[in-house]
C-alpha cells in the first residue's frame, strides 16, 4: 500500500512537471505581441416598465430629480419606479398642445420647456401640474407649415432660443428678470418673442448653441450659420481654413460644445467636424476602412459632451465614444446590448452626469456604474461589442515584481501593463485548438455582480487603486452632482 502511495505521488509530480514543460514550450512557440489597450466595459441599462414607441426627444432630468422623456405619443415623467404620461386633452387648455414631443430643455432655473412637432412651445407648471402655452401666440401666424420646435438652448442671460425646422426661423424668448419664477402665469405674460429668419429653405434650423462671445451658432440644412443677437444679422462663418469653407454650405445636423470653447459638428454625409474659434482651425474626422480607431461611419445624427471631455457620437449604426484630445474613437465593450443607432437617435447628459440614449428604446449609462471601472481583453476584429458570459474574462490574476499582471483570458495567457492599461503580450497556450479541460466556457459559473466571471479591476498594494490614472479613464464617469443645469456655451 505504501509503495502504491509513493508511486501515485511520483506520477503526480511527473505529470505536473510535464504539464509545466508543455506550457512553457507553448509560451515560447506561440507568443504574440499585443495590439492596443484593454477595453473599458460599460453597462448600459434599458429603461423598463413602459412599452416604448418612438422616443424622439433628448432626455432631461429636472431639479427635483424627475426624468422627462418626449415621444410621438405624449410626454413621460419617470421617478425611478413609475411613469406618468401627459397627453393632449381636447378642450383642456392646461394640457399639452400636442402629443408629438420633439425637444425638451431644463433651464438654469429648473424650469421645463417642452417643444412639440406641430404646436410650438409650452412651459410646465409643477405647482399645478399643467402646461402653459407660450409660442406661438394668437398673433403669430404660420400659414404654410406648423411650428416645429426641433431644438432649444439657453443663453447666458437666461433667454430661451428655439431652432424651428418649419418655417426655418430661430426664435428668441426673452424672459423678464423683474418677475418671480414662482408665478409662471405672470412670467409668461412678460415674455417677449422675436423671430430671426435664416434665409434658408424650410426645414432649415436643426440645432443651436451660444458661443462665448454671445453669438448664436446654428446648424442648418444648408450650412452653419452665426446669428448676432445685437444686430439680428445671420451669416455663414466664413472660415479661412479650406475645411471651414465647406461648412458654409454643408448639411449640419447637430452641435456640441466643449469646455475649451471648441465647437463640434455632426453631419449625415461627411462625418465629424471640430472648430477652434480662437485660431480658426477646422478638423474633419471621417471613417477610414482598415483604421479601427477612426469613426465607424460618416452618418452622424447627434452629439453629447460628457464631464470628462469625451464626445459621445450617435450614428446610423450605434453609439461611439470619441476623444477630442487624440482625434480617435475610444473602443469599448458593453455588458449587455449596446444601444443601436438610427436617424432618430438622441444623446444627452443630464445634471447627474448620466448619459441618455433615445431614438426608439431608452438606454442610460449612470456614473455609479463606473465607480469601479471594468476592463476586458478583446479581439479587435470581433464583430460584436457585447461581452459574452465566458469571453473577455480574467482568471487567476498574479502580479510580477515590476508591477505588471499575468492572467488567463479564455485560452490565452495575457501580460498586462496595469499602469497604462496596455496588453504587453499574449500567449496562445493551445495554438488555437480547443483544450480538453480547464478553459472558460458556457458552463463557467457567473458572479452575481455581472456577466464577467472575473472582471478585471485595478489594484495597487493589495487594495483598489482609486481614482485610476488619466491613461485608464476611458469610459469612466465621475460621481458628481449638480443642483441644476447651468447654461453652457460653445
* CATH number of the domain residue 242 falls in: 2.130.10.10
Q: How many domains does the chain have?
A: 2
Rounded Cα–Cα distance for residues 119 and 88 (Å): 11
My answer on whether 409 and 283 are in the same domain is no
Yes or no: say if 273 and 298 are a contact pair by the CB < 8 Å rule.
no
252 shares a domain with 307: yes
Same structural domain for residues 335 and 356?
yes
Q: How far is CA 53 from CA 69, 76, 229, 487, in A?
A: 11, 12, 38, 30
CA dist 329 and 50 (Å) reads: 33
Q: Is residue 177 included in any domain, yes or no?
A: yes
Can you name the residues that pair with 99 across neighbouring β-strands? none
Count of CB atoms situated within 10 Å of the CB of 315: 24
First to last CA, the chain: 84
Report helix, strand or coil for 462. coil
Query: Are both 305 and 409 inside the same structural domain?
Result: no
Task: Measure the CA–CA gap between 274 and 256, rounded to whole angstroms.
Answer: 10
Domain limit, last residue, from 370, 402, 433: 370
334 domain-assigned: yes
Buried/exposed code over 194-215 (b: 16+ C-beta within 10 A; e: otherwise): eebebebeebbbbbbbbbeeeb
Is residue 5 in some structural domain?
Answer: no
What's the pTM value of the predicted model, to 2 decimals?
0.77
Question: Can you give the pLDDT at residue 111?
Answer: 94
Answer yes or no: is 13 within a domain. Answer: no
Does residue 102 fall inside a structural domain?
yes
Residue 145: predicted pLDDT: 63
Same domain (yes/no): 383, 359: no
- Who contacts 478 (Cβ-Cβ below 8 Å, separation ≥6)? 307, 308, 353, 367
pLDDT at position 434 is 58
Domain annotation covers residue 485? no
Residues 37, 57 within the same domain = no
In the prediction, which pLDDT does 1 show? 47
Identify the burial level of 220 via C-beta atoms within 10 angstroms of its C-beta, where 0-12 means exposed, 13-18 middle and 19 or more buried: buried
Do 324 and 402 belong to one domain?
A: no
Instruction: Say whether both 334 and 381 belong to one domain.
Output: no
Tell me the pLDDT tens digit for each residue of 415-447. Answer: 888 777 788 887 776 665 655 544 433 322 222
In the sheet that 130-135 helps form, which strands lie side by side, from edge to edge? 101-106, 112-116, 121-125, 130-135
Closest CA to 115 of 128, 96, 130: 96
Q: Which of 370, 402, 432 is the last residue of a domain?
A: 370
CA distance 377 to 391: 9
Do 320 and 185 lie in one domain? The reply is: yes
Q: 300-305 and 311-315: which strand pairing?
A: antiparallel
Is 238 in a helix, a strand, or coil? coil
Determine the pLDDT at residue 419. 78
Q: What is the pLDDT of residue 285?
A: 97
Domain shared by 385 and 288, yes or no: no
Amino acid 9: pLDDT: 39
Residue 278 sits in the same domain as residue 388 = no
Instruction: State which residues of the chain have pLDDT below 70.
Output: 1-37, 50-53, 137-146, 166-167, 179-181, 200-203, 377-396, 409-411, 429-490
**Is there a domain that residue 136 lies in?**
yes
> Containing domain of residue 411, as a range?
31-41+375-472
The residue to which cell 480547464 is assigned: 438
Would you say 166 and 146 are in contact if contact means Cβ atoms under 8 Å apart? Answer: yes
Q: Are residues 361 and 385 in the same domain?
A: no
36 falls within a domain: yes
Residue 237 sits at φ, ψ, to 5 deg, of -70, -25
Q: Where are the alpha helices (DSSP H) in 127-221?
A: 184-189
Amino acid at each position: 500500500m505504501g509503495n502504491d502511495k509513493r508511486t501515485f505521488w511520483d506520477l503526480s509530480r511527473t505529470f505536473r512537471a510535464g504539464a509545466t514543460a508543455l506550457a512553457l514550450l507553448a509560451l515560447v512557440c506561440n507568443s504574440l505581441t499585443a495590439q492596443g489597450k484593454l477595453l473599458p466595459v460599460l453597462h448600459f441599462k434599458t429603461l423598463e416598465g413602459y412599452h416604448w414607441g418612438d422616443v424622439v426627444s433628448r432626455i432631461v432630468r429636472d431639479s427635483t430629480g424627475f426624468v422627462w422623456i418626449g415621444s410621438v405619443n405624449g410626454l413621460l415623467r419617470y421617478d425611478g419606479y413609475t411613469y406618468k404620461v401627459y397627453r393632449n386633452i381636447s378642450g383642456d387648455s392646461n394640457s399639452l398642445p400636442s402629443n408629438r414631443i420633439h425637444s425638451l430643455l431644463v433651464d438654469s432655473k429648473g424650469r421645463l420647456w417642452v417643444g412639440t412637432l406641430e404646436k410650438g412651445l409650452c412651459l410646465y407648471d409643477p405647482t399645478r401640474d399643467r402646461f402653459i402655452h407660450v409660442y406661438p401666440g394668437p398673433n403669430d401666424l404660420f400659414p404654410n407649415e406648423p411650428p416645429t420646435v426641433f431644438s432649444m438652448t439657453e443663453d447666458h442671460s437666461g433667454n430661451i432660443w428655439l431652432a424651428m425646422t418649419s418655417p426655418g426661423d430661430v426664435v428668441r424668448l426673452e424672459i423678464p428678470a423683474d418677475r418671480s419664477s414662482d408665478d409662471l402665469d405672470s412670467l409668461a405674460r412678460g415674455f417677449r418673442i422675436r423671430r430671426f429668419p435664416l434665409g434658408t429653405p424650410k426645414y432649415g434650423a436643426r440645432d443651436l448653441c451660444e458661443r462665448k462671445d454671445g453669438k448664436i451658432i446654428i446648424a442648418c440644412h444648408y450650412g452653419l450659420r452665426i446669428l448676432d443677437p445685437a444686430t439680428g444679422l445671420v451669416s455663414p462663418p466664413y472660415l479661412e481654413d479650406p475645411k471651414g469653407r465647406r461648412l458654409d454650405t454643408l448639411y449640419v445636423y447637430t452641435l456640441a460644445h466643449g469646455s475649451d470653447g471648441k465647437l463640434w459638428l455632426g453631419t449625415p454625409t461627411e462625418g465629424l467636424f471640430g472648430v477652434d474659434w480662437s485660431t480658426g482651425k477646422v478638423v474633419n474626422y471621417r471613417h477610414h476602412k482598415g483604421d479601427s480607431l477612426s469613426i465607424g461611419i460618416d452618418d452622424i445624427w447627434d452629439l453629447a459632451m460628457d464631464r470628462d471631455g469625451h464626445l459621445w457620437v450617435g450614428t446610423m449604426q450605434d453609439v461611439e465614444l470619441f476623444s477630442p484630445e487624440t482625434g480617435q474613437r475610444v473602443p469599448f465593450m458593453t455588458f449587455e446590448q449596446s444601444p443601436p443607432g438610427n436617424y432618430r437617435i438622441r444623446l444627452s447628459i443630464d445634471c447627474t452626469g448620466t448619459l441618455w440614449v433615445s431614438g426608439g428604446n431608452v438606454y442610460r449609462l449612470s456614473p455609479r456604474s463606473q465607480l469601479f471601472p471594468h476592463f476586458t481583453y478583446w479581439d479587435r476584429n470581433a464583430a460584436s461589442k457585447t461581452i459574452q458570459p465566458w469571453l473577455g474574462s480574467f482568471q487567476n490574476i498574479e502580479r510580477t515584481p515590476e508591477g505588471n499582471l499575468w492572467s488567463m483570458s479564455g485560452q490565452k495567457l495575457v501580460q498586462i501593463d496595469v499602469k497604462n492599461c496596455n496588453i504587453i503580450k499574449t500567449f496562445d497556450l493551445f495554438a488555437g485548438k480547443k483544450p480538453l479541460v480547464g478553459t472558460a466556457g458556457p458552463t463557467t459559473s457567473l458572479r452575481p455582480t455581472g456577466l464577467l466571471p472575473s472582471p478585471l479591476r485595478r489594484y495597487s498594494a493589495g487594495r483598489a487603486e482609486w481614482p485610476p490614472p488619466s491613461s485608464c479613464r476611458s469610459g469612466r464617469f465621475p460621481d458628481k452632482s449638480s443642483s441644476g443645469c447651468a447654461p453652457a456655451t460653445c
